[in-house]
Amino acid sequence: MRRDRRRAANSNLRTAVQVIKCSKCKEPVLPHRACAACGNYGDREVIATQ
């Protein structure tokens, strides 16, 4: 029974989503993802954008 209570208590603990800025266009981007606005990941263009 203690295990069930511990699991229920931990279900409400969530961390906030971290957001960084793209180094090229300064748009908000999730970490370890390519930028949707300019297609860059780090210093490389990995998605061709128009």
* Segment holding 7, helix H or strand E: helix 2-10
* Residue 47 domain flag: yes
* Residue 4 domain flag: no
Contact 20, 32 (CB under 8 A): no
- Mention every residue, 6+ apart, whose C-beta is less than 8 A from residue 23: 40, 42, 43
| Number of independent structural domains in the chain | 1
* Residue 39 domain flag: yes
CB atoms inside a 10 Å sphere around CB 21: 11
pLDDT of res. 49 = 75
CA–CA separation, 50 vs 3, rounded Å? 53
* Residue 49 domain flag: yes
* Residue 32 domain flag: yes
* Residue 12 domain flag: no
CA–CA separation, 27 vs 49, rounded Å? 15
What pTM did the predictor assign?
Answer: 0.60
pLDDT digits (tens, 9 = 90+) for 2-27: 777 777 887 778 788 899 999 999 99
* Residue 2 domain flag: no
Domain residues for 26?
17-50
Asked whether the predicted pLDDT for residue 28 surpasses 80, the reply is yes
